[in-house]
Amino acid sequence: MDVNVVLLISILTTQCGTQTVQNVKDLRTYLFTTNAYDVRVRPIANQSDPVDISFGLSLINIVNLDVVQEVLYASVVLNLSWNDTELGWDPTSYGDLQSIQLPQGDVWTPNIILKNSQSGASGLGYAALNVKVWNNGTVEWFPSETFAAICNINVKYFPFDTQTCPLTFIAYGYLPSEVILSGVPGGVDIGDYETSPIWTLVSTSYSVEVQDDDVKIVFNIELKRKALFTVISVILPVLMLTFLNLCVFFVPCTGGEKSGYSVTIFLSFAVFLTLVEATMPPTSSPISLLSVYMIIMTAESTVITIITQIMIRCSTFDEKKTIIPHWLIVLAELGKFKYCRAKCVRSKNDEVTSVDEKADGVKGVVEAFEDNTKSEKIYTWVEVMNGLDCFLFIVFGIFTVLVAIVMLSVLGSS
């Protein structure tokens, strides 16, 4: 007997709480016919007060960050809610109906636009998109969009750069005294975010800025580039090319390969510089440190190419007709580390000569001078150029290593 009573009460309770199609129709009639709801009127009893729009953003994915055009393409869902005093009802009068779905064109919605849009301002949502209205007048609107937002790109530390792109929304056509935008706790929801193969999402934030003529809410998305591809395809080949550039000093001047080798390396630098610049925005400030490094290495390759052509020409000279400058001989000896050794030998000979001078007088000085003259080596142009190759390899090698260390250190510190 008790069981039957319980079942009867449950059935009656369930029937009382069931919403029918007629309940929904009656509610629509009440809202739009009886109350004469007007979408052109701001939904607030006191028209001197602003409508408070609670504004949130769900980031779905980063479609693309066009560095050259400086545009962020992001797929997002906006979470907007406000209270409409003209859309409330008593649930008990409509089968305990707590909420209803209505087309967005049937209710008042704020004219929200992306202020920094690259493709121009346009309204949110579409005609078939519904808004959810609760019995207390709360309206929830979830328009989704792929926005193209202008983003100032800083490529100074490319490819280890971090970019911060804003999505700036305003209630177009409304003053702060009419509509105000306020953020939700957390600002940007990344629960449904799909990772990008190119960019890593570092952080998100938001801020509300109230001005005299409008109020805007700014969602900042901070992205860090995944640099592995650029390191493998650009930086490592360039570093290897810079050291190949030094190998031109290993090629003898007597053959024709030295000139062709230096020109080939120079053209390779020019090609890589073009490839790097193609991935950069056409701005003068700031310039990528990688571009600066490429320009320095291209300039170094230019100097090496010019020096190489001069050395090839000098190697054809006849030392009997064209005297070899003494400074060239000194540089050649420095390159082969002969100058220091020769200087040490001369110092010892000078000491011996000094003793001989004291012992034998003027005759000893004359004989020592004749011996040094006879032992003095006569260089050819080819020998001097070979020694100069060693010297230039050391000089340009030190310069190349220092520039590479500085560049990698600065990029790594970013």
Do 218 and 241 sit in the same domain of this protein? no
- Average pLDDT for residues 3-28, to the nearest whole number? 61
- Does the pLDDT value for residue 241 go beyond 50? yes
- Average pLDDT for residues 134-155, to the nearest whole number? 92
* End residue of a domain, out of 182, 199, 226: 226
Do 244 and 219 sit in the same domain of this protein? no
Give the domain CATH number at 215: 2.70.170.10
Q: Per this entry, what is the length of the chain?
A: 414
Do 193 and 139 sit in the same domain of this protein? yes
Q: Kindly give, in sequence order, each residue whose CB lies less than 8 Å from that of residue 114, ignoring residues fewer than 6 positions away.
A: 121, 147, 149, 167, 168, 169
How far apart are the C-alpha atoms of 204 and 218, rounded to whole Å?
11
Q: Is residue 356 part of a domain?
A: no
Give the domain CATH number at 307: 1.20.58.390
pLDDT band at 410 (very low <50, low <70, confident <90, very high): confident
What pLDDT does residue 345 have? 42
What pLDDT does residue 377 have? 64
Q: Torsions phi, psi of 112, nearest 5?
A: -90, 130
What pLDDT does residue 68 have? 86
**Portion of the chain with pLDDT greater than 90, in percent:** 38
Q: Is residue 34 part of a domain?
A: yes
The mean pLDDT of the chain is: 83
Number of structural domains in the chain: 2
What pLDDT does residue 362 have? 46
Q: Is residue 36 part of a domain?
A: yes
Do 306 and 217 sit in the same domain of this protein? no
Domain that holds residue 291: 229-324+379-413
- Average pLDDT for residues 376-401, to the nearest whole number? 86
How far apart are the C-alpha atoms of 6 and 369, rounded to whole Å?
132
Omega before 159 within 30 of 0, i.e. cis: yes
Do 16 and 105 sit in the same domain of this protein? yes
Confirm if 179 and 110 have CB atoms less than 8 A apart. Answer: yes
Task: Mean pLDDT check: name the lowest of 37-41, 100-104, 197-201, 320-324.
Answer: 320-324
Q: Is residue 47 part of a domain?
A: yes
Q: What is the pLDDT of residues 114-124, one digit of tens each?
A: 999 888 777 78
- Average pLDDT for residues 214-227, to the nearest whole number? 93
Do 221 and 248 sit in the same domain of this protein? no
Q: Torsions phi, psi of 374, nearest 5?
A: -70, -35
Do 135 and 212 sit in the same domain of this protein? yes
What pLDDT does residue 17 have? 52
- Does the pLDDT value for residue 14 go beyond 70? no
- Does the pLDDT value for residue 18 go beyond 90? no
DSSP string, 242-293: HHHHHGGGGS-TTSSHHHHHHHHHHHHHHHHHHHHHHTS-S-SSSPPHHHHH
Do 242 and 218 sit in the same domain of this protein? no
How far apart are the C-alpha atoms of 290 and 338, rounded to whole Å?
39
pLDDT band at 100 (very low <50, low <70, confident <90, very high): very high
* End residue of a domain, out of 198, 226, 254: 226
What pLDDT does residue 409 have? 87
Q: Is residue 253 part of a domain?
A: yes
Nearest to 138 by CA among 57, 43, 39, 49: 43
Q: Is residue 367 part of a domain?
A: no
- As to burial, measured by CB atoms within 10 angstroms (0-12 exposed, 13-18 middle, 19+ buried), residue 393 is middle
Do 220 and 233 sit in the same domain of this protein? no
Q: What is the pLDDT of residues 33-75, one digit of tens each?
A: 888 899 889 999 898 899 999 999 999 999 999 988 899 999 9
Do 216 and 246 sit in the same domain of this protein? no
Q: Is residue 172 part of a domain?
A: yes
Task: Mean pLDDT check: name the lowest of 45-59, 234-248, 316-330.
Answer: 316-330
How far apart are the C-alpha atoms of 13 and 243, rounded to whole Å?
85
Helix (H, G, I), strand (E, B) or coil at 60: strand
Q: Is residue 350 part of a domain?
A: no
* End residue of a domain, out of 159, 194, 226: 226
